[in-house]
Amino acid sequence: MGSPSGPPFDPDDPDRERRERDTEPIPRVGPDDGPGYGAGAGLSDGPSLSDDVGYGDGPGYAGQGRSGRGWVRDPEASDQPPQISEDELAGLRADATGSTPRRVLPLEDEPSSLVARYLFPTERYRGEWKRHWIHLTTPLLIGIAATFVLGYLSGFLAGQNVGALTTIAVLLWFAVMGWVAWKVADWWYDRFILTNKRVMVVNGIITRRVAMMPLVRVTDMKYEQTPTGRALNYGTFVLESAGQEQALREIKNLPNPNELYLRVVEEMYEPQAVEARLGKEADEAKADDGA
119 and 251 share a domain?
yes
Task: Among 189, 205, 221, give the residue marking a domain's end.
Answer: 189
- The per-residue pLDDT for 80 is 55
214 and 165 share a domain?
no
116 and 226 share a domain?
yes
pLDDT in tens, 238-257: 888 875 666 688 899 999 99
- The per-residue pLDDT for 276 is 75
The verdict on residue 92 lying in a domain is: no
- The per-residue pLDDT for 245 is 61
139 and 276 share a domain?
no
207 and 247 share a domain?
yes
- The per-residue pLDDT for 24 is 60
127 and 262 share a domain?
yes
The verdict on residue 183 lying in a domain is: yes
- The per-residue pLDDT for 190 is 94
Task: Among 141, 162, 189, give the residue marking a domain's end.
Answer: 189
Query: The pTM is what?
Result: 0.57
The verdict on residue 55 lying in a domain is: no
- The per-residue pLDDT for 28 is 56
Encoded amino acid at 12, one letter: D
β-strand pairing of 125-130 with 64-67: unpaired
Task: Among 152, 169, 189, give the residue marking a domain's end.
Answer: 189
SS (H, E, C) 125-184: EEEEEECCHHHHHHHHHHHHHHHHHHHHHHHHHHHCCCHHHHHHHHHHHHHHHHHHHHHH
279 and 140 share a domain?
no
- The per-residue pLDDT for 109 is 66
Domain count, the chain: 2
142 and 285 share a domain?
no
246 and 116 share a domain?
yes
> Which residues, other chains included, contact 50 with Cβ-Cβ below 8 Å and sequence gap of 6+?
none
pLDDT in tens, 21-61: 666 665 555 555 544 444 444 444 444 444 444 444 444 44
CATH of the domain at 226: 2.30.29
The verdict on residue 12 lying in a domain is: no
> Which residues, other chains included, contact 266 with Cβ-Cβ below 8 Å and sequence gap of 6+?
104, 273, 274
Which residues of the chain are modeled with pLDDT < 50? 1-3, 34-73, 77-78, 95-106
In the three-class reduction of DSSP (H, G, I as helix; E, B as strand; rest coil), residue 274 is classed as: helix
122 and 214 share a domain?
yes
178 and 267 share a domain?
no
282 and 182 share a domain?
no
Domain enclosing residue 237, as ranges: 109-131+193-290
